[in-house]
Structure 1
Amino acid sequence: MIRPKLLSRFHIHPLLWLVLFLGVLTGSFVEIVIIFCLIFVHEMGHVGMALFFRWRITNVMFWPFGGVMDTEEYFTRSYKEEFLVVLAGPLQHIWLHLLLIQLSSFEVFPAYIIEYALMYNLQLFLFNLLPIYPLDGGRILLLLISCKVPFKKVLGYTVHLSVICIFVCLAIATVNQWLTFHTLLLAGFLFIENRLEWKRKHYVFIRHLMARYNQPQSSGNREIVLTVSPAATVNAVLQSFYKGRYHRMEVVSGSNRLSFVQEEECLHVFFDRKTPYLEMEKVARIGNT
């Protein structure tokens, strides 16, 4: 059951109201309602899994072509949680497909409604798995990249790959004469979203570091030893951190190992001492005092 406080965070974008109104005028209201219901179930998959892991949900917005669940928890939780929350949306289309097939055999609804629902359910499922941020496929791509790339660079790489994929999809649509006003509108929305993510990537990185600081990574996590020079700054070292890993910095000068610095010491210098450009040699001294 959706709690009243959470229900107040559900919103319908004015464009969707406009589309529903136009659906009444053009006689396609039933089809638009079917699309909205499929989108609603998809988003409730995300919401349900997020609530299961006690994520804070700030907003759920429904657009004419999809929905977006806003939360401050992305990039701050474990791989397991983030993968499950992302996958919970597309997985809803599997049982919906099976349900629609059963309904078609019972002839509960007119055949054209079931056929339309099956077609759009499949399209929505495949569309959301495209490797374009912020679609579910783009979020999966981001998580996969973050396994091998320092988190500071992950969002930038994801945005670049998303933009390339948008252009490729537009080219395919043009060649096959699938290009419509709706397609262009959707592509424009995705371009804008990726531009916004590009502009806020530093904020996302700082939020990720803050989450590590408030909930220190377990030293039982897979450990990565980073070899750094004494002159390297804390800020530079933090940009080499990987999501879901515990870091230990080996401060090396030439062939001599000077000291080891734990990641929590770097985060302490960054957030508490507010000296992000302090050299690692001095951080090591602080840790030894």
Structure 2
Amino acid sequence: MIKWKGIRWSVHPLFVLVMIGSVMTGYFAELFTLFLIVLVHEIGHVVVARSFDLTVREVKLLPFGGVAEMEDAGSIPAGQDALIAIAGPLQNVWMGLAAWGCGQLGWWDPEWASYVWQANLMIGLFNLLPIYPLDGGKLMQAAFSYGFNYYAMMKWTSRISIALSTLMIGYALSTAFHSDAGIQLNLLVVGLFLLLTNWTYYRNIPYLFVRFLMHRDRVAVRTIARGSLARPIIVNLKQPIIAVVRLLWREQYHLIYLMELEGRIVKVVPEKEIVDRYLTERDPNRAVIELFR
């Protein structure tokens, strides 16, 4: 691991295994090219994130791309998150076109040019699969942020990612029965990695949600700066506080209306009061009205 421009850069153990295998089989040039492609792919993410004044803590390089960890994760607007995600595959577009052009102009050996543009095509398209933490998974998260509250967005992202990772593993295993090539080991390993990552993500949703709540003040600042209207949330007096905070949306600031079953509004509180009470309350299942008596 090295630190450059304030960012920790590391190579994932999965990539290390690929490197060892490539060196042992004599594919060093292909390995070095793959490393450069993945590095430029991740630099694309970092440059766009930095343009939004976001802090990138660490970049982990993987054989099919990488993972850039943002310090501001959870408070980044969905639109910015989508632009950061798509910036990686866009690097593969220009690199692939450049390699193809060099081959057509005779500047590179046609076979080598074909390898480089096909490698970029493979990495770019693979990263667009709607599986977290691939770029396609992050684009899916950004899209879901406009149709679901934050907690539901995380749940659906993890569920879809687990399902698609399982399908990837199943396909890799099924080739043993339909092809003379046997099991697609690379696809199997990547599928297992993505499945494990998303299973861990699913189990850590409660902790990730708390991190989201701890950065809600930034949403308030952006809302006030834009002069945007607060989004109302109407809840029953007896709803547990944990159920109320799970109704918060990613880019919306909320006013919480506490309503009796008869339809009378008892109290209106800004979301900050609800979030602060939740973060300090020992029993998150207490009725929300009990916190404001």
Bin of the TM-score, shorter chain as denominator length: 0.7 to 0.9
Count of residues in correspondence between the two structures: 283
Tell me which of 234, 239, 243 is aligned to 2:241: 234
> In structure 1, what is the equivalent of residue 271 of structure 2?
263
Partner of 1:208: 212
- Aligned counterpart, 2:143: 144
- Look up the match of 2:74: 75
Does the 8 Å contact 1:269/1:276 carry over to 2? Answer: no
Q: Deviations over 1:231-284 (max 9, x none)?
A: 223322101111111211221111322222211221232346777455433555
Aligned residue in 1 for 2:253: 246
TM-score (norm 2): 0.86
Change beyond 3 A, Cα 1:221–1:204: farther
| Amino acid across the alignment from 1:280 | V
- Equivalent in the alignment of 1:187: 191
Distance in 2, Cα, partners of 1:148 & 1:21: 44
Matches within 5 A, 1:1-289: 4-6=4-6, 9-173=8-172, 174=174, 177=179, 179-213=183-217, 216=220, 218=223, 220-221=227-228, 223-253=230-260, 254-271=262-279, 276-277=284-285, 279-283=287-291
> CA RMSD, aligned part only?
2.5
Contact 2:169 2:192 in 1 (8 A): no
Deviation of 1:214 after TM superposition, in Å, equals 5.6
Once the two structures are TM-superposed, the CA of residue 191 in structure 1 deviates from its matched residue by 1.0
8 Å contact kept, 1:233–1:279: yes
Question: For 2:130 and 2:107, how far apart are their aligned partners in 1?
Answer: 36
Q: Is the 8 A contact 2:79 2:142 kept in 1?
A: no
2:58 touches 2:70 (CA, 8 Å); kept in 1?
Answer: yes
Going from structure 1 to structure 2, the CA distance change for 1:24 and 1:276 (only over 3 Å counts) comes to closer
Are the counterparts in 2 of residues 213 and 267 from structure 1 also a CA contact under 8 Å?
A: no
TM-score, normalised by the number of residues in structure 1: 0.87
**2: CA distance, partners of 1:14 / 1:229:** 49
> Hey, what's the Cα distance between the residues in 2 that align with 1:197 and 1:27?
37
Counterparts in 2 of 1:172 and 1:15: CA distance versus 1, 3 Å: closer
CA pair 60-188 structure 1, distance change in 2 beyond 3 A: same
Q: Distance in 2 between matches of 1:256 and 1:18?
A: 63
Q: Which runs of 5+ in 2 are unaligned?
A: none
Distance 1:17 1:166 in 2: 22
- The one-letter code sitting in structure 1 at the alignment partner of 2:255 is R
Identity percentage of aligned residues: 28
TM-superposed deviation, 1:202: 0.8
The CA distance in 2 between the partners of 1:21 and 1:203, in whole Å, is: 36
What is the CA distance between 1:16 and its match in structure 2?
3.3
Q: Aligned pair in 2 of structure 1 residues 19, 257: CA closer, same or farther (>3 Å)?
A: closer
